[in-house]
Amino acid sequence: MNWLSDEAIARLRLVGAEPDLTGTRYRLIDRIGSGGMGSVYLAEDATLGRRVAVKILDVPDSSGELAARLRREAHILASLEHPGIVPVHDAGTLADGRVFYAMKFVEGERLDRFSGRDGTLPGRLRIFQRICDTVAFAHTRGVLHRDLKPENIMTGPFGEVLVMDWGVAKILRANWNAAPVEMAQDEPREASAGLAVVSSHPALKTAHGAVLGTPGYMAPEQARGDVEHLDERADIYSLGAILQFLSAASARGTQTAPRALTAIARKAMDPDPAARYASASELGQDIARYLDGLPVLAYPENVLQKIARWAARYRLAIVLVLTYLVVRALLIFWFRP
Amino acid sequence: MNKITYGLILGGILGIFDGLTSWFTPAVRPQLMGIVLGSTFKGLLAGVLIGIFARKVHSLGLGVLFGLAVGLLFAFFIAYMQRNYYVQIMVPGGLVGLIVGYATQKYGDSTTTSPSRT
């Protein structure tokens, strides 16, 4: 009698867990990742002949909390049309009851892996500015991400920067209303009624005291489970932690992170939400000022530091003028009668 | 400030300074005022030309080269008119052009305002 090897058993388990996409326009290609709620698969859209990423719930739970959360994530993504947010193409329920949504397949690298590689500090800061822009946009639409971290940022080969995984996002405004996503025909009726239904699902209201997020990137008030009082400044804390991560990644070796950047990250991560930047745009603007060699809000400079920054900003111009003066002086002395 | 204005101001200031340094050459000291005026005019003209170039061509290398060429050319004309002091005039003149070329590429607004069409 031949026994199956461990490898074969593991493979069979994997195949058994693979979702059945029969009845949809998608053909499964590969599993590309997994999260708390479900897994993300690479699939081919048979109708349009393109590759898409399909996020599918791990368990067939079409009316439970997880399904409602996944649907809500799809609705939030669909409502946030922005170059920094992955667009949703479709949403529905599989034959086995698992909820899914299809989105653009992003080929790129996660920020945590990208940062470990090459890349100058200004290059990384420009990526950070794009993240701030995206988060600022979401905030203006009344959406709080609540799980910003390098693992949830994708950088594409053509300079794309995408904020991913809005699964634990919080809707800040009571009157938040987005256009409902068209559900597939096999979608149960009650689930296709749009966000109004989805967002009112009792399971979607995160209980006070519940902690959602990632340690190290979570604001103190978020870590305490103070869900009711969370606002945009919780995301600003996470942005500060991402900035700290990016600064540290580029300062490996003998270099230390510039003081102004450390001060910006510290202000964004202040334990007191009121002392943080008022908005993600304001944080992004301070980074822009740093990149332009201008003084930043978070770091009051003394005279020497101002001179050093000014000299660094106009370094080449100063070298040219000094060269001119030296050449002038040399010529005067050389041709002195 | 747009690149042409930037080139004009920088060229003018450096031109004045360039002219004033002729004070260190006693032989030309009596003509100091004329030299300063001529040098300033040269700087202004070179600055405008380099500024126009910077607005049309966005390349630091080409801008610096163009500035150097214009500075050298103008300085050559002046030295040629004096039939003397080629090195003393052309080397700083070229450097002034180079500085203005660099500065107009690096700084200054390259956008132009044009009347809107209805």
A266 pLDDT band (50/70/90 cuts)?
very high
A94 pLDDT band (50/70/90 cuts)?
confident
B109 has which bridge partners?
A: B2
Going from N- to C-terminal start, the domains of chain B cover 3-106
At residue B32, does pLDDT exceed 70? Answer: yes
Q: Does A332 contact B at CB distance below 8 Å?
A: yes
Is the CB of A331 less than 8 angstroms away from the CB of B102?
no
pLDDT the model gives residue A189: 32
- Please state the pTM of the whole predicted model: 0.71
Q: Which strand (E) or helix (H) includes residue B25? A: none
CB-closest option in A324, A336, A337 to B99: A324
Averaged pLDDT score across all residues of chain A = 81
pLDDT the model gives residue B87: 87
Distances (CA, A) of A29 to A18, A46, A201, B24: 10, 12, 33, 80
Beta carbons of B65 and B104 less than 8 angstroms apart:
no
How does pLDDT run across A206-243, given as a tens digit for each residue?
555 555 667 889 999 988 887 778 889 999 999 999 99
A258 pLDDT band (50/70/90 cuts)?
confident
How does pLDDT run across A155-188, given as a tens digit for each residue?
988 888 999 888 888 887 655 555 444 443 333 3
How does pLDDT run across A40-77, given as a tens digit for each residue?
999 999 999 999 999 998 877 766 788 888 888 899 89
- From A147, A165, A235, A286, active-site residue: A147
Provide the shortest C-alpha distance from residue A213 to chain B (in Å): 44
Residue among A27, A281, A258, A297 nearest A135 (CA): A281
Lowest mean pLDDT among A95-104, A233-242, A323-332: A323-332
At residue A84, does pLDDT exceed 90? Answer: yes
Which one-letter DSSP state was computed for residue B59?
A: -
A199 pLDDT band (50/70/90 cuts)?
very low
pLDDT the model gives residue A185: 38
pLDDT the model gives residue A1: 58
Cα(A118)–Cα(A130) distance, integer angstroms: 19
Chain B residues in contact with A323 (beta carbon < 8 A): 95
Is the CB of B25 less than 8 angstroms away from the CB of A332?
yes
Lowest mean pLDDT among A136-145, A202-211, B67-76, B90-99: A202-211
Q: Does B87 contact A at CB distance below 8 Å?
A: yes
Beta carbons of A289 and A295 less than 8 angstroms apart:
yes
